[in-house]
Amino acid sequence: MNCCICTTALWDDETGRLICRPCERRIAEDLAALAGPGGLYARLCLRIHPSSNGSSGPAVSGTRGAPIPANLQVLNLVANGGIVSALESWVEDWASYGLAEVGVGGRLQYRIDRAVATLRLNLPQAAYRHPALEECAREVWSIRRQCEALIAGAKPPRKVPVQCGSNGCDGILKVSIDTPGETCRACGREYGHSEVLQLTPVAGAAA
């Protein structure tokens, strides 16, 4: 049997698992990177109102002029409905398999920390039981990469529309160089990182 994330063959002592131990560690590391006062979420919050002197700290206005506009891309990630909702959706999903307990309320940073702690605590069990670990791993990895890119001041990689490779399928997937994998919404076919980058770009389609 192969790991459902990296597709490498599982070792004999990994019998019964859905993912290999290295992939489990990577998921745990990606989750851990998001939480805490020095984590990516907290650091990203400081980017909502960048200061005029170019520092990475929050803006502090001492004038009556209009405040510096918020970075909307960052705001969408750190506000309710962004990263916190994505992680809490996975907590709710895992809870439906008896792999987590859903928390209620609190400030956004607290909710991030709680969701991360819950997922990491139950990850060893999920490695044996949860059927959508690949999707979960891909989303958490993508969130981490987005946070790191925005904190570093880089623009997210441009996405290019590509044609699904299934016979008779006219589905279009949007991928970038760092896309870990993708699933065609039209036919349900799943692609790994190397596979999705080999698909044919769609000429003239909007990215």
Mean pLDDT over all residues of the chain?
84
How far is Cα 168 from Cα 50, in angstroms, rounded to an integer? 48
Q: How many Cβ atoms sit within 10 Å of the Cβ of residue 143?
A: 21
pLDDT of 67? 47
CA nearest to 135, candidates 202, 90, 71? 90
* pLDDT band (50, 70, 90) for residue 143: very high
207 in a structural domain? yes
Between helix 108-129 and helix 21-34 the angle, nearest 10°, is: 170
Same domain, 90 and 79: yes
Same domain, 87 and 147: yes
Tell me if 93 sits within 8 A of 135, measured CB to CB. no
Same domain, 170 and 125: no
Domain count, the chain: 2
74 in a structural domain? yes
Q: Which residues contact 1 (CB under 8 A, 6 or more apart)?
A: 9, 10, 15
Q: Taking the chain, what is the end-to-end CA distance rounded to the nearest angstrom?
A: 37
Same domain, 152 and 172: no
160 vs 55, higher pLDDT: 160
Same domain, 150 and 161: no
Indicate if the pLDDT at residue 43 is higher than 60.
yes
Q: Name the amino acid, one letter, at 43.
A: R
Same domain, 133 and 200: no
pLDDT of 156? 62
User: Lowest-pLDDT range, 35-39, 118-122, 193-197?
Assistant: 193-197
Helices vs. strands in the chain: H and E counts, helices first? 7, 4
64 in a structural domain? yes
* pLDDT band (50, 70, 90) for residue 81: confident
Same domain, 17 and 110: yes
Judge residue 119's burial from the number of C-beta atoms within 10 Å of its C-beta, 0-12 exposed, 13-18 middle, 19 or more buried: buried
Residue range of the domain that includes 134: 12-156
184 in a structural domain? yes
Indicate if the pLDDT at residue 152 is higher than 50.
yes
Own/partner contacts of 72-78, CB < 8 Å, gap of 24 or more, are 73/150, 74/44, 74/47, 74/48, 74/150, 75/48, 77/44, 77/143, 77/146, 77/147, 77/150, 78/41, 78/44, 78/45, 78/48, 78/108
